[in-house]
Structure 1
Amino acid sequence: MIGTLPPERAETVFTHSSWAEERASSYERLEFLGDSVLELAVAHELYRRYPDHAEGRLTKIRAHVVSRASCAEVAQELELGKRLGERASGLPGDELERLLENRNILAAVLEAALAALFLEHGFEAIEQSVVSAFSEVIEDAVSGHVDNKTELQEALARLGRAVSYSVLEVDGPPHDRRFLCAAVVDGEQTGMGSGSSKKVAEQEAARQALERLGLAPVSP
Structure 2
Amino acid sequence: MTKLTILIPAYNEAQTLGQIIEGVLNVPLPMQREVIVIDDGSGDETQKIAQSFKGPEVTFLRHGLNRGKGAAIRTGLARASGDIVLVQDADMEYYPSEIPRLLAPFIDPEVQAVYGSRILKAGNPKFNLRFYWGGRLISWWTNRLYGSKLTDEPTGYKAFRAGLLQSLDLSADGFEFCAEATAKMLKRRIRIVEVPISYRPRGFHEGKKLSVWDGLTALWTLTKHRLF
**Larger relative contact order (C-alpha < 8 A, sep ≥ 6)?**
2
Higher Rg: 1
What TM-score results when the alignment is normalised by the length of structure 2?
0.29
TM-score where L is the length of structure 1:
0.30
Higher helix share: 1
